[in-house]
Structure 1
Amino acid sequence: MSNHAGKNNSVKFIDSVDAYDDDSDSLGSVLSDYNNIFYDAPTIEEPKNSEIDFGNFRTSKLCIDDSIDTSLNEPSDEEDSFILDDENMTFSLDEDKLIEKEFNDYLDDEHEILSEANEEKKRKIDQLNSIELNFDNYDLIRKMAIEKYGFVSKNFRRKAWPILILHKIKSLGSPDLIMNSFISIYENMTESQIKNNKYYNQVTLDVVRTLKRFPPEISDKLRLKLQDQLIDLICKILIKHDNLHYYQGYHDICITFLLVAGVQNCLPLIENLTLTHLTCYMESTMESTMKLLFNIMPLIDKLDPQVAEHIQRAELGVIFGLSWLITWYSHVMENLKIILRLYDFFIATDPLMPIYLGAIIVADKADVILEIDCDMASLHTVISKFPSKLNSSEQIENYIKSALKLFETYPPSSLPELNEQWLIKCQLILQQEEERRFQREQEEEMYLRQRKKNKTNDTDNKNNKVAKRKNLNMIRFRDGKSKANKFLFGLTFTVGVAAVAMYALNSNGIKDTPDLFSRFYQILSLKEF
C-alpha cells in the first residue's frame, strides 16, 4: 500500500516507484505515477519556514513564513491597490468592495444565459424559476438537476445546490438556517489555526497551480483573492474534521463550489458533500478509492467487450480514470459550463455516477482506442485526455443520458457480480496471452534453430564442394602426370634403342648384336604403357 508524504504521512501522493514491490498487480505499482496525473513535476510538502516563489500570487495566505521580507510588495504605480498592515499584505477597503462587486456580477449570470440560450434552454429556466426552493420540493429539484441542461445558471445553482446537499440533515431546519449554523462555526477559526494545520503548505502549493481553473473574464485581483479564500476554506474543513486526509484534487472540487456560491456559502456545502460523496477519497490510503475505480472496467466490458479486452491486454489498469473520479472531471476539463452541468448531475445522483459516466466516455471512443497499439503508455496518453476534449453541450447531455441508462441496467448492487465476471474474463485473457507468448517463443526458437541448421548445412555443402573440387584437380593432375611420364619413358626408350642400333651398325667389335636387340624387345614387350 502506498505511503503518503507530508506531515504524519497524510498527504496523498507517490514519490518513488522504488517504494513498491515488483509485483505488477500491487496497488503501489498502479499508483506509482499518481502525481503525474495532476502535475508535470512531483509535489513535495515544503518545510514550514522555507521561502516559496509564488510569482504574482501575493496575498496574505501565501506568506508561509511571516518573517519573509515583504519589502518587494510595496505599492507601485501599477499596483496601487495593495497596502501593508502590521503583519500581512491586504486589499484596501475600497479595493475589497470593487472586487466583491465584480464577483457578485460574475455570479449573477442569468441575464447573460438568457441572451445566449436557445428556446429549449429558456423554457428550462422558466421552469426552474417557478419552483419554490425548499426541502419539500426536493424530488422535483433533483429531477430538474438530472434532466437536460441541469440548473443552467450559477444564479440558480447557488440556491438549489443547498437543497440537494443538505436534504439528509433537513431535520435541523430550513436550508438557510442550516447554512448559517455551519458558517458560524467556521467564523471562530483563527488565522493561526489555519497556518498551523498540517496540510496548510500542501494546500497552498496546490492552490498556486489553479490558474487555469478560473474563468478568463475574472480579473487577476479577484482571482488572487479567491485563491486566498480557497486556502482558508479547505483548511477550515480539514481542521473541523481532523480524521479526513487531504488529497491532491480536492482543491479542484472546492474551487468549483467557490466559483458558484462564494466563500461563505460554499463552506457548508463542501463540508456536507465531503461527508457523503467524497469520504472514501479522504482516507489515509488510496485503497478504497481504487476499489471504487476498479468498477469502471466491468462496466466498459458490458458496453464494448472488445475495448475492455484491448485495454486489459495492454495491462493499462484503471489509473487513467483516477483524476476523473476524485475531482469530478473538473481537473481534466477546461469548460466551466460543462463542469457545472456535471456537478448538477453528480450532486443529484449516486456517488458512483462519475464511474458510470467514465465507462460511457471510454466506450464511445471505441474506434479511437482499437486503432492504438496494445501498449500501456500509448493507451494511457490517449484515454486519460478524452474528457478534456468534451466541449459540446449536446454531447455531454447524451453522455449523461447514457450514464443514467447504464446505471439503471447495472445498479451499484450488481457491481460485485460484474466484477467477479470480469475477473474470470481477465484470467482467461491472461491465460490466452501466456499461450500466445509461449507460442511466439516456440516459433522464435524454431526459427533460430532452423536458421542455425541452414547455416551449418550451407557451411558443410560449401566445404564438400571445395573438397570435391580439390580431389578432381588432384585426379586430373595425377592423370596428366602419368601420361607425361609414360610418354617420356617411351620416348627415352625408343631413343635408347635407336642409339644402341646405330652403335651396333657402326661397330664391328660387337658380335652378338641380334641378341642385344632381342633383349630390348623382350623388355619393351613386358612394359605397360
Structure 2
Amino acid sequence: MDKLKDAFNKVAEGAKNMKEKEEEKKKIKDVLNHKPINIRELREHCISEFGLVDSSIRKKAWPILLNIHDEVKVKDLKDDNTTTPKFISFDKDKGWNKHQNLENEKMADQIDKDVNRSLNHYPSFGIKSRRDQLSRMMNSIFQLNQDWSYYQGYNDICSAPLMAVEENMGFHVSVAISNYFIKDFLKSSFDKGVIPALNLMMKIIEGTHKEVYEKISFLEMPTFAVSWIITWFSHDLDSSEDIYRIFDYCIASHPAVSIYLAAATVIHNKDQLEDLEEGDIATLHMIFQKLGTENFDLEKVIALTEDLMEAYPPEDLLYDNKKIGFENDSPIIDPSLQLTTKIIQVAKETQEKYIVYPQSRVEKYGEYVTKGNLAAGTVTMICLYFIAQYYRSEDCPEPKPSDF
C-alpha cells in the first residue's frame, strides 16, 4: 500500500512540475518577445526554479545574456592586418570553422583524446557526429585564442552549449563563457586561477559556516572541488538537464559563481561531514564523488549559493583578493572585465532592440566611487569611475522603474 501511495505521489509531483514548467516557459517567452528585452528579468528567470526550462528558449536567451545576441563580433585574422571588427549573422556564420586546424599539436592531441570520452551525459543518438562538431569547436577556439591554455574539463564546458544550442551558436557561447567567466582557468598555470578559486571556496565556507570549515580545514588543498569549479559541474553530473540548469544559472551570475556553487555543495552536505575524522581524506573524497547520483539537490544548492553571495558579496573580492591570489586581469575581481560592464558599453547602440541593464550592479559601481574607494593608481577603480560616469551621463538614458 505504501509503495502504491509513493508511486501516486511521484506521478502527482511530476504533473505539478510539468504544469509549473509550462507556466514558467510562457513567462520567459513573454520577456523575450518584449522590446527592449529586460535583461534583469531574464536573469531572474535563470536563477529561479527550473531556470530557462528547455533548450528552445536557451537558443535565444543564452546569446542575449552573453551579449552576443543575433550578431557576433568575430576576430579578423586576414593577412591584411585590418583591425575592423566583422559582424555576421549567427545563422550564416561559419567563419570560425576555417581555423579548426590547431597548430599546437600537443594541445590538439589532448583535445582529441578528451573529445573521444565526451558527451556521455547527453542523449547518445548521433554521438559520433556530435563529437566531430565538438572537436571542430574546440580546435577553432584555441587556434583563434592562442594565449589560452587548454585544460582537461574544458571539453565538458563546450559540450553543454553544443548540445543545447547547436554547433555554430555553441562555438560563440563557449567563447563568451571563456572570456567572461572561466578565463582564469585558461591560463598557463593552475596557480593563476584554480588555486585562488579553491582558496576562495574555503574562505567563503569559513566566513559563512565556520563549523563546516573546521571539518575540512585539515585539507591543504580541497582538490575534490576542482572539476566542479572549472567545468561548472558538467563533468560530475549525470543528468544533462541538471547541467543545462547550472549553465542557465552561471551565465546569469557573477564570474565567481561556480566557486560559490562549490562552497554551497560542501555546506549542503554538512550532515555527512559530522562523523568525519580529521585527516580522513579518503572518506571526504568518497562523499563528494557521489555528487552525480545522490547528495545533490540542485535547486537547494542554487538557493544556498544565492544566500552565500549575499552574505559574502562577490564585490568584496576587490578588497580581499590579496589573500586569495587572483591576478589583476581576472574577470572575477575586476568589474571592468565583467559581462555586465560590456553590456553597459554597448547599451547606446542596442538599447532600442535589447538592453535594459541590471540597475543593481551599476549602482554597485557607483557606490564604490562615491564611498571614496577609488585607490590612487589602480586601473580597476579608474575603470569603475568611468563606467559610473557613463551611466550617469546625459547620453545614457535612465531606466524607468517599470523596466525592472
**Structure 1 and Structure 2 fold alike (TM over 0.5):** yes
Q: CA deviation at 1:403?
A: 0.9
- Pick 1 or 2: higher relative contact order, CA cutoff 8 A, min separation 6: 2
Q: Residues 169 and 139 from structure 1, CA distance in 2 versus in 1: closer, same or farther, beyond 3 angstroms?
A: farther
Q: CA deviation at 1:401?
A: 1.5
Tell me whether 1:260 sits opposite 2:164 in the alignment.
Answer: yes
Q: Residues 398 and 261 from structure 1, CA distance in 2 versus in 1: closer, same or farther, beyond 3 angstroms?
A: same
- SS of the counterpart of 1:166? coil
Q: CA deviation at 1:207?
A: 1.1
> What TM-score, normalized by structure 2, do the two folds share?
0.66
Match of residue 332 from structure 1 = 236
Match of residue 165 from structure 1 = 66
Q: CA deviation at 1:411?
A: 0.9
Q: CA RMSD in A?
A: 3.1
Show the 5 A alignment for 1:403-482.
403-415=305-317
Tell me whether 1:312 sits opposite 2:212 in the alignment.
Answer: no
Q: CA deviation at 1:178?
A: 5.4
Q: Residues 317 and 416 from structure 1, CA distance in 2 versus in 1: closer, same or farther, beyond 3 angstroms?
A: farther
2:304 to 390, 399, 402: 402
Q: CA deviation at 1:386?
A: 5.0
Show the 5 A alignment for 1:293-312.
293-312=198-217
Tell me whether 1:249 sits opposite 2:153 in the alignment.
Answer: yes
> What TM-score, normalized by structure 1, do the two folds share?
0.51
Q: Residues 167 and 237 from structure 1, CA distance in 2 versus in 1: closer, same or farther, beyond 3 angstroms?
A: closer
Match of residue 140 from structure 1 = 41
Q: CA deviation at 1:357?
A: 1.5
Maintained 8 Å contact 2:108/2:139: yes
Q: What code does the residue aligned with 2:273 have?
A: I
Q: CA deviation at 1:396?
A: 1.6
Match of residue 122 from structure 2 = 214
Q: What code does the residue aligned with 2:47 have?
A: I
Match of residue 386 from structure 2 = none
Q: Residues 257 and 317 from structure 1, CA distance in 2 versus in 1: closer, same or farther, beyond 3 angstroms?
A: same
Show the 5 A alignment for 1:364-403.
364-385=268-289, 387-390=291-294, 395-403=297-305
Which consecutive residues of structure 1, in runs of 5 or more, have no partner in the other structure? 1-113, 423-529
Tell me whether 1:130 sits opposite 2:37 in the alignment.
Answer: no
Q: CA deviation at 1:341?
A: 0.6
- SS of the counterpart of 2:38? helix
Tell me whether 1:183 sits opposite 2:83 in the alignment.
Answer: no
Q: What code does the residue aligned with 2:260 have?
A: Y
Maintained 8 Å contact 1:335/1:391: no
Q: What code does the residue aligned with 2:180 have?
A: T
- In 1, Cα distance between the equivalents of 2:154 and 2:25? 30
Q: CA deviation at 1:288?
A: 2.2
Residues 431-489 of structure 1, C-alpha deviations (whole Å, 9 max, x = no match): xxxxxxxxxxxxxxxxxxxxxxxxxxxxxxxxxxxxxxxxxxxxxxxxxxxxxxxxxxx
- In 2, Cα distance between the equivalents of 1:141 and 1:300? 29
- In 1, Cα distance between the equivalents of 2:295 and 2:269? 15
Q: Residues 356 and 179 from structure 1, CA distance in 2 versus in 1: closer, same or farther, beyond 3 angstroms?
A: farther
- SS of the counterpart of 2:99? coil
- In 1, Cα distance between the equivalents of 2:70 and 2:166? 22
Greater per-residue helix proportion = 1
Q: What code does the residue aligned with 1:183 have?
A: D
Number of aligned residue pairs: give it. Answer: 298
Which consecutive residues of structure 2, in runs of 5 or more, have no partner in the other structure? 1-13, 75-86, 325-404
Match of residue 202 from structure 1 = 110
Residues 2-26 of structure 1, C-alpha deviations (whole Å, 9 max, x = no match): xxxxxxxxxxxxxxxxxxxxxxxxx
Q: What's the % identity of the aligned pairs?
A: 25
Q: Residues 391 and 378 from structure 1, CA distance in 2 versus in 1: closer, same or farther, beyond 3 angstroms?
A: closer
Q: CA deviation at 1:245?
A: 0.8
Tell me whether 1:234 sits opposite 2:138 in the alignment.
Answer: yes
- In 2, Cα distance between the equivalents of 1:419 and 1:306? 24
Match of residue 271 from structure 1 = 175
- SS of the counterpart of 2:31? coil
- In 1, Cα distance between the equivalents of 2:98 and 2:320? 48
